[in-house]
Amino acid sequence: MTAETKRRPAVGSGWATVMAKEFADQILSVRFLVLMIVLGLAAAIPLYIAAERIRSLASDVSGAQAVFIALFIIGPQDASVFGIDISVASFIGLAAPLLGIAFAFDAVNGERAQGTLPRLVSQPIHRDAIINGKVAAALVTISIVLVSVILIISGVGIYRLGIVPSGNELLRLISWIALTILYVAVWLSFGMLLSVIFRRAATAALVGFGVWLLVALFGRFLMNLLLAVIAPLDSSAAAADQLGVLQLQAFFHRLLPPTLYQEASSVLLNPSVTATTTPATLGQYTQATQQIPTLLSLQQSLLLVWPQVVALLAVAVVCFAYAYVRFMREEVRA
């Protein structure tokens, strides 16, 4: 074996090296601690409310199924913020995109600003290992934050309520965690794209958090304003026409990633949710209203949410692919 062959990096080893270095930097950073505290505090208030409501209804829910997982979906009655229910799942869904953007908006342009990007790409690794390693490290770090917070919530719930989760509830919770990580990956890919496009980290952060604020908090409100103009719901119209308008409105709402995540979360965390789409015909609407309340199995719930999961995955792949191509074609000068 020649000396040149010995110096040649093994295929696939470069991204792992970058990932290990980035992960070590992130896990020990102040950013990691601050974001974990913020996410924990964001979930503490709805957790307390959910626990108190379950305790007040203990006599009614005794022996019922999916009581433990109700910790994540129960909030105060008739209360919401910007149209988002005050529950643990809603708060995590609201704060999780912040993790994705916060760990990615300066991934590339931060190296460029410090002048370390030319030295990084001159190392004996493939250029794509840099962006792949950075994304992998950020995703692993965020996954640790989410899993840690959810485990703390579960532990507090078990301690306060004395309810041990069943195997089916644990599987639903694991499925929901995987869905949340996928949702974070959407915003992580978007943040990485901004980091590649904009040369200044401050600009990327401003655009990223601005888009999050617009989409997550005001997206449904702005979409409803738009739909009120292009597809108003007329109460005097025929029932079939009203169903058509409702379907069109549901389609436009699903263009927003938060809507896809909320629909999938409600199905995974609540086995009594049996549909996420508007009936297409009057016959289907009649069947839906006459349906006997039932609890879906986990497999049935997964079949129900696979379109939302595929849509979120497609958005994440498109954003990352565009960032990948831009980074690979970018000219890096010392």
Which phi and psi angles does 199 have, rounded to 5°? Answer: -80, -25
pLDDT, tens digit, for every residue of 21-47? Answer: 888 888 888 878 887 787 777 777 667
User: Coil, strand, or helix at residue 309?
Assistant: helix
Residue closest to 74 by CA, chosen among 302, 325, 272: 272
C-beta of residue 224 within 8 angstroms of C-beta of residue 265: no
User: Coil, strand, or helix at residue 157?
Assistant: helix
Write down the mean pLDDT value for the chain.
Answer: 77
Token digits for 60?
């009614």
For 247, other C-beta atoms within 10 Å of its C-beta total 14
pLDDT, tens digit, for every residue of 202-230? Answer: 898 899 989 988 888 787 777 777 777 77
How far apart, in Å, are the Cα atoms of 82 and each of 85, 93, 158, 215? 9, 13, 30, 11
Question: What pTM, to 2 d.p., does this model score?
Answer: 0.83
Low-confidence residues in the chain, pLDDT < 50? 1-11, 58-63, 78-79, 81-82, 279-280, 282, 284
Burial of 301 (0-12, 13-18, 19+ CB in 10 A): buried
